[in-house]
Every structure is written in structure tokens, then in C-alpha cells.
Structure 1
Amino acid sequence: MRKEFEHTLEKNVYCSRCKNETKHSIIKSHRRGSFQEIEPDFHWQEAFHIVECAGCQNISFVNQYGDEDTWEYDSGEKIYRDVYRVYPEKPIEDTQEYRIEQKFKKRYWLKVKQFSHVPSTLYNLYEQIIQSYNENLNILCASGLRILLEGICKDLNVKKGFIYNKNKQIIKKDGERDPKKRESLEGKFFGLYDDGYILFNHALILQKILYVGNGAIHEIVEPDKLVLKQIINIVESILENTYELEHHELLKED
């Protein structure tokens, strides 16, 4: 049998005046539950308390509920625990979850940037990438980034390109007399450089992005959050340089 409600709440609850969880004394209670039934199939009990904070004497209302399923293991033993809800409720900004969320937003949260000349299909995908990033759907975010970059190549009609090393030397495959352009995504990324859309360092970074995206798509490897943020910043700069700069007001004729 669960023990009867006592004159003091068994659990400290939030006090809107103390701004903390404190001990509360019960002033008045109303109880109901399966004890009112004859041979109940399911045992439950609920109480509605008017309570007073033991520290500041603030008055609150508390709902206390427990049944056969409100239990948890404690040191290997099954312990029944009631669920308490206090009114006025604890403001969300006072909860640990809220503070963690705000800390995350301050360090990682990204806003969708406005691009006026990026094709709508690519921009819609970009918006979904930012949403998945902010919702911690990191594998989907990395996959979307890879797809977006491939979409940029397709939109700009970049189908292939030479592959370079870090010293801007074209890499030849074994047995090749003359280097050939590659139709792989790696080649297309360098093709963006060949065609003047991005800088050489951008092209090198895109190879790293390709590695992260392939890991997410083919091996279900979740990338690091900070790495994703850096990749998104690079991709945003490519969208800006490729689609927006040519329409900048400073380039307009007087």
C-alpha cells in the first residue's frame, strides 16, 4: 500500500516568491482515487492541496498524483513516486532545460540568411539545412549540405573539372599522359574554381565538406556541431559570392 498524504508535502516544490524549490506545509487537501471504488482494476490516487511555503509563507496550489505506473528504480528497488504540479508554475526561464537551450543558442544557433538571387530550389534546401542544424539533426544537416553543393554545380552547369593538390598542381591518374577533367563531385568542386565562381581555398575546403557529407550519407557518421557551423558559414559565403555579388548596388551603373 502507498502511504497516506502527510501534513507536509513529501517533495519540495517551486515557490514563486522564493524562486526556488522549498518545503511546503499543507493547509487544506481534497483527495480522490481508486480507494473510493469497490475492487478497482487500477489503483490510483490524487490530491489537491492548498499549501504554504515553509520559508516565506507564500500560498500555492499543488496537484499530487500517483498510480500503479508512477514508479522508478532506486538502487535496484522499485519505488513509487507521486507526480507534483504546482501553481503558479515555475517560469520556463527558471528551468535548467531553458538555461541549457539558451547557452546552446548563444554558441551555436544560426539564423537563415536572406539571399535574393539564389534559385528557389536551392534556397529552400538551404533553409531546411539551417532548420535541421538548429534542431540538432546533424546527420541530415550534413547530408543536405552535400546535396546543396551538388545542386549549385548543376545550376551553374559545372559538370567536371581538374583535381588539384594544395600547391595548385593538377593531379593525374596513373598511366595518364595528359591530365583529364573528372566528372566526380570532387572534380565538379574544382570545376567551380576553374570557371571562376569560387576561390582556390574554397575548392580545397569543399573537398573536406564532401568528406563530411559522404560520411553522413554512406556511413551514418554524425559530424561535430562546430564543424557543421563552419561548413555552413563557408557555404553561405559561396552562395553570396556566386549569386548575390553580381547584383550588388555598388556594381550598378550611375
Structure 2
Amino acid sequence: MNVVPEKLFCRICNRRTNHHLVTNEHGHEFKYVISHLDYDEVDIEFFEEYSIVQCRGCDTIAFLKKYGDEDMFHLIGPNYHSDREYFEEYTVYPEEPKKDTHEQLLQFNEKFEFDHLPDLISGIRNETINAYKHRMNLLCNTGIRMIIESICKVNGIDKKPKVRRGETVLDKDNNPVMVNLSLFEKIEELQKRNLIDEKQNNILNQIRDIGNETVHEIVRPKTRELLQYLNIIDFILYNIYELPNLNFAKKTSPK
């Protein structure tokens, strides 16, 4: 009898219990598997396995999906390529009810209406929020950093003249050679242009530091922290793009 390695939610026991794969009278498991090998072109190695399972406590039948891919691993040592421990994701149907209180506290509720966001920023923001809602924390954190980068880009804050020994470096046409600004320098320039204030500068740099830690140290950001960052970013976006367009002038009554 093939027992599922991970405890699954049972709707009758109302808790996570041990399950085993159901077999027919010939001992064959009810299983269907697809993987990257079933496609001509695919960017990532993966597999999806669907099977029928049974609770070992109350015999209730459920449907199980097991998924794994080449990016699903934990680092267990200093070597990024060899010190990997791979894992799979188990999803049982009917699904385990979410804890309402916890989920409600961590929901992203939009506090502002945006009518004047540049398309570049709006697109990245929407994808970042979608990543958060699906608890793809690494992608969400990367998206938040990209929002900051996109604010700078649409305001023409991305490059500076290259300087060597105090002199501006020129190309063969006698034009300044331009180099990319670091994100720190871009945030500083946002403040110089009065697009953000000093406190917002400090906050954006804190988000930048945490983003660097996520990328370079492979640290998964916490959901609660990401929610705070999203709310802060939205507040800054509203200040930059919506407040200047608000009009509270009183309408004059026709005589």
C-alpha cells in the first residue's frame, strides 16, 4: 500500500490525516501523470501527478494533485548547485478550508483608485499584486523592487555621465558616456526632484535592502512584510500620480 508522505486534509475527520493511494482489484493505482516530457518545448522541468487517495482514519475518498519542478528546493549547504533538497507540493480536493481570520488580516485591499498611473508602472503593479494574492512571495518581492525601478524609469532617472578622475568621460563623438545608476542613487534622485520626501526615501531604501537580501541570500520574505510594502508603495504612487490631478475647486452655480 502506497502511503502519501505528507498528511492531507480530510473533510470528514476535519483535520490532516494519513492517506494512501487507491488501487483497483488488480493492484494498479488510479494515477495520471504529465510532465515537461509531454511537450515539445518547455522552459522548466516539471511534473504533475493526479491520483485518488483514501483517508486511513475514516476511509473517505479524495482527489490529490502532486506537483514538483526544478526550482522547488531548499538549500541545505553552501553550494547552490549541489546542496539542494527538492520537495513536492501536495494539494487535496476538496481543499482544506482557509483560516478566515488569518487570511483576512493578510488580504491586500486596495485603498486608492488609480487613474493616472503610467502603463509601465500599472502593469508591473498588477502582476505584483497578483503574485501576492497567490502567495508567490519571491515574485512579489521582486515585483515591488521593479515598481520602484519603473517609477524612476518613467521619470527619466536611470543613467548618469561616467566620470573618471573627476572628468566626464566622452565617446568618439564627444558625447558623455552614460552609465546606469544604482537603485540607491535613483531613490536619492527621486527625493531631489521632490517626488518623494526624506521619510519615503528611507522606506524605499529599506525595501531595496530587503529585496537585495531576498535575491542574493535566497531569503523568502514574509507575507505580512510584503503586505506592508505593497501598502507603502501604493501610498507613494498615489502621492506622485494622483494627488497632483485632484481638483477641489468649487463649481460656480449658473446665474
User: Structure 2 length normalisation: TM-score?
Assistant: 0.54
Q: Number of aligned residue pairs: give it.
A: 166
Q: Report matched runs for 1:93-104 at 5 Å.
A: 97-100=96-99, 102-104=100-102
Q: How far apart are residue 132 of structure 1 and its match?
A: 1.2
> Do residues 228 (structure 1) and 226 (structure 2) align?
yes
- Runs of 4 or more off by more than 4 Å in structure 1? 12-15, 69-72, 251-254
Counterpart of 2:181 in 1: which secondary structure?
coil
Decide which moves more: 117-126 or 193-202. Answer: 117-126
Tell me: CA distance 1:70–1:228, structure 2 relative to 1, closer, same or farther (3 Å).
closer
In 2, are the aligned partners of 1:143 and 1:213 still within 8 Å (CA)? yes
| C-alpha separation in 1, matches of 2:250 and 2:235 | 21
| Aligned-partner Cα distance in 2 for 1:13–1:127 | 34
- Letter of the aligned partner of 1:141 in structure 2? C
Give runs of aligned pairs for residues 99-178 of structure 1, distance below 5 A: 99-100=98-99, 102-112=100-110, 113-159=112-158
Alignment of 1:1-254 (within 5 A): 14=12, 34=25, 40=26, 42=27, 83-85=59-61, 97-100=96-99, 102-112=100-110, 113-159=112-158, 183-250=181-248
| Identical residues among aligned pairs (%) | 28
1:29-54 per-residue CA deviation (whole Å, 9 max, x = no partner) reads: xxxx63xxxxx4x268xxxxxxxxxx
Mapped contact 2:12–2:60 kept (Cα < 8 A): no
Q: 1:139 to 1:252 in 2, by over 3 A?
A: farther
Distance 1:252-1:192 versus aligned 2 partners, 3 A rule? farther
Report if the CA contact (8 A) 2:54-2:61 is conserved.
no
Structure 1 residues 252 and 246: CA distance shift in structure 2, 3 A: farther
Asked which structure has the greater CA Rg, the reply is: 1
Unpaired runs of 5+ residues, structure 1, are 2-11, 22-32, 35-39, 45-68, 73-79, 87-94, 162-174, 177-181
How big is each residue's C-alpha offset from its partner over 1:113-166, in whole Å with a ceiling of 9 and x where there is no partner?
A: 5311001221121111111112211111111111110010010112379xxxxx
AA aligned opposite 2:218? I
| Bigger fraction of residues in helix | 1
Aligned to 2:90: none
- Letter paired with 2:155: L
The residue type paired with residue 198 of structure 2 is F
1:175-205: CA deviation from partner (whole Å, max 9, x where unpaired): 99xxxxx921101101111001011100011
Is the Cα–Cα contact under 8 Å of residues 115 and 240 in structure 1 kept in the other structure?
yes
Gaps of 5+ in 2: 2-9, 16-23, 30-51, 63-93, 167-179
Mapped partners of 2:212, 2:237: distance in 1:
21
Q: 1:123 to 1:14 in 2, by over 3 A?
A: same
